[in-house]
Structure 1
Amino acid sequence: MVERIPMSIGGHKKLKDELKQLEHVERGAVVKAIEVARGHGDLKENAEYHAAKDRQGHVEGRIIELKDKLARAEVIDCTKVNTAKAVFGAVVGLLDLDTDEEVTYKLLGPEEANVKYGSISVLSPIGQSMLGKEEGDDVTVQTPGGTREFEVISISSSTEP
């Protein structure tokens, strides 16, 4: 059975755009760099050639990875998620019970998560501990710094698909 990867519409588009860039721009640029480097003579001592070949390996590897993720993507419209519980795509407001600080996170997949922009992976410790919780529920998270306690104060759908 193929393991599906939950992904927002925006995250899916971002991966498709990256794949298109790699296949239609980066791949050609690397081939040209290899051709130019070959023209410089002895390949054993040619750092430019080896760097271009390394870049080619990285580009081809990322293309394979993106095609796999896109093939297994389960695209979810985050504006239409059920907000009775914390689920993929939901925006969850938490109250830190130790500091009385409020934080808000959008629950997304690992490829899309970016704490700096307020999104966390459903696979992260805090993301996993929030899944299935309802408003008023307590959330206990084991972090490298110790146990943290939160209360779910809000669950809403995203304004972005």
Structure 2
Amino acid sequence: MIKIPLTVQGAVKLKAELQNLKSVERPAVIAAIAEARSHGDLSENAEYDAAKERQGFVEGRIAELESKLSNAQLIEPASLAETAEGRVVFGATVDLEDLETGNKVTYQIVGDEEAEIKEFKISVSSPIARALIGKYAGDVAEVMAPGGIREYEVLDVKYI
């Protein structure tokens, strides 16, 4: 099986989602199906169909999360400080400056499942992360964006 890189924080979030699905969502769906069945004829019962569809989604997500967690390669960013030696690697938090606009931004490079741009966590498979991997503070990374090539200077690399 292929190991999926995941930060320890990302694993905690996935475990919490899995626990919620198993202890809250699954029983709620079972109750909704039982309620819909009590209304009689299932052939034209929209509530029953909706509950069964929701059950399929919940069960599918549970299976997906269990698979991802069982195949996860957990990485603690703080433990990378010695081996990465200032290089941008999975789990690193990187301060960048857009050389064209001067805008500064900080991203953490995380696994696909835990990427959330609103939290400034970018997927390791994203174009910007791929361009940053292996760079050091002071290096310039060229990123192919929809509007053309963008250049970002790596200001700092942290493992937090």
TM-score of the aligned structures, taking structure 1 as reference length: 0.93
> Secondary structure in 2 aligned to 1:20?
helix
> How big is the shift at 1:33?
0.5
Query: Which residue number corresponds to residue 73 of structure 1?
Result: 72
Matched, 1:115 2:117: yes
Residues 18-37 of structure 1, C-alpha deviations (whole Å, 9 max, x = no match): 11111122111111100100
> Secondary structure in 2 aligned to 1:52?
helix
Query: Which residue number corresponds to residue 23 of structure 1?
Result: 22
> How big is the shift at 1:145?
2.1
Q: How many residues align?
A: 157
Normalized per residue, the structure richer in helix is 2
> Secondary structure in 2 aligned to 1:103?
strand
Query: Which residue number corresponds to residue 127 of structure 2?
Result: 125
> How big is the shift at 1:97?
0.8
> How big is the shift at 1:140?
0.7
> How big is the shift at 1:47?
0.6
Distance in 1 between the 2:19 and 2:119 partners? 24
> Secondary structure in 2 aligned to 1:107?
strand
Distance in 1 between the 2:60 and 2:111 partners? 20
Mapping of 1:77-156 within 5 angstroms? 77-82=76-81, 83-156=85-158
> How big is the shift at 1:100?
1.3
List, as ranges, runs of 4+ consecutive aligned residues in structure 1 with deviation greater than 6 Å: none
Distance in 2 between the 1:105 and 1:21 partners? 28
Residues 39-73 of structure 1, C-alpha deviations (whole Å, 9 max, x = no match): 11111111100000000000000011001100111
Distance in 2 between the 1:74 and 1:116 partners? 24
> How big is the shift at 1:148?
0.6
> How big is the shift at 1:80?
2.0
| Counterpart code for 1:143 | A
Structure 2: gaps of 5 or more residues: none
Distance in 1 between the 2:97 and 2:13 partners? 31
TM-score of the aligned structures, taking structure 2 as reference length: 0.94
> Secondary structure in 1 aligned to 2:96?
strand
Query: Which residue number corresponds to residue 44 of structure 2?
Result: 45
Distance in 1 between the 2:63 and 2:148 partners? 38
> How big is the shift at 1:101?
1.4
**Identity of aligned pairs, percent?**
50
